[in-house]
Amino acid sequence: MPKESFEQFVRRQKEKLDKAKKMIREVKKDLEDLEKKIEEFIEKPLKDLKRLWEENEEEIEKKDDWVTAFSFLFSLPFPETSPSFLERISNKFLKEFDWKKFEKKGFLRGGLGLFLSAFLKKNIESYISSQKEKGIKEENIKPIEVHLKVKELPIPLWCLGYQNPKKLHLIIEGDCGEFTGEKTQGGKIIVEGDCEGCWTGRYMQGGKIIVKGSCRDWTGEKMQGGKIIIEGNCGRGTGICMKGGELDIKGKVESFERSSTFSPNNQGTIIWKGIKIWENGNWTKEGKEMWERGEIPVE
């Protein structure tokens, strides 16, 4: 066979490049069409979610506590949607929310967090039920990951991850406020920032909460199960009235609660700076030594 000339080689490579560029344009067009279809698909549930908030905003304001408010919210007819669209709907709802309302109604930061938590919990529980109906055992059901983008919000929301259900991995991208992960039942909550408010993981029953930053006061109050990992620092009253579960703090602690954290009633585990200091209602050997040396801050 005659040897290919340089001009022929260049021409052949150019033809390959032109073909590749055409394929890229086609793929890009397909992606744009897919994005438009997704936007059209989520338009109705997003519209229904906005309407549901507007219709019940005043009723939420009348509730005396989070338990009553969440019970009311969970009874609402939230739009059912595919788990794969929960993240997109939630973030678009937050992005398009009328934040001017917060100038006069501070309660909304908790009510709005509860509202989103109820929406996610209801859809995740529906997803779990549908998987079980297909004969899939609960331990084999794939968790759903939802990234909440809260960095650009004007204020940190309270009550995100309230009653977080099994099979929901909630990643909060930014800081959040008080009562994060309260009454967590399962799944996982990861805060890629600080919990600027108090009571992170209060009444926690199961699952895992990971805070990449720091928390303020009363972290893990009355927690009964599950695991809380704080990679930063904690404030006052850490572990107050703790009953069980595991509290793992990597950084500094302003103070533990002397009588209610280190009580025989606390059958949980406390790890501080990599050292297990409390377990099953008693000091560990290392914890007792640190206590006797006055190294554990209490109030």
Tell me the pLDDT of the chain (299 aa) as tens digits: 466 787 887 788 888 888 888 888 878 877 776 777 777 879 999 999 999 999 998 898 888 889 999 999 999 999 999 999 999 999 999 999 988 877 656 567 789 999 999 999 999 999 999 999 999 999 999 999 999 999 999 888 999 999 999 999 999 999 999 999 999 999 999 999 999 889 999 999 999 999 999 999 999 999 999 999 999 999 999 999 999 999 999 999 999 999 999 999 999 999 999 999 999 999 999 999 999 999 999 99
What pLDDT, on the 0 to 100 scale, is given for residue 29? Answer: 75
Whose tokens are 């406390």? That residue is: 270
Whose tokens are 């259900």? That residue is: 165
Q: Amino acid letter at 57?
A: E
Pairing of strands 227-230, 208-211: parallel
Task: Check residue 207 and report its DSSP letter.
Answer: S
Q: How far is CA 192 from CA 135, 137, 177, in A?
A: 35, 31, 13
What pLDDT, on the 0 to 100 scale, is given for residue 109? Answer: 76
What pLDDT, on the 0 to 100 scale, is given for residue 134? Answer: 96
What is the distance between the alpha carbons of residues 52 and 11, in angstroms, rounded to a whole number? 61
What is the distance between the alpha carbons of residues 269 and 280, in angstroms, rounded to a whole number? 7
What pLDDT, on the 0 to 100 scale, is given for residue 25? Answer: 84
Maximum C-alpha span of the chain = 92
SS3 content of the chain, % helix, strand, coil (to 5): 40, 15, 40
Neighbours of 128 (CB within 10 A): 19
What pLDDT, on the 0 to 100 scale, is given for residue 33? Answer: 64
What pLDDT, on the 0 to 100 scale, is given for residue 13? Answer: 82
Residue 230 pairs with which residues in a beta bridge? 211, 249
CA angle, 109 then 83 then 220, to 5°: 45
Helix (H) or strand (E) run with residue 16 in it: helix 6-62
Residue 209 pairs with which residues in a beta bridge? 189, 228
What pLDDT, on the 0 to 100 scale, is given for residue 82? Answer: 93
Give the residue from 108, 212, 211, 251 showing the smallest Cα distance to 220: 211
First to last CA, the chain: 91
Q: Which two tokens stand for residue 271?
A: 């790890």
Helix (H) or strand (E) run with residue 229 in it: strand 227-230
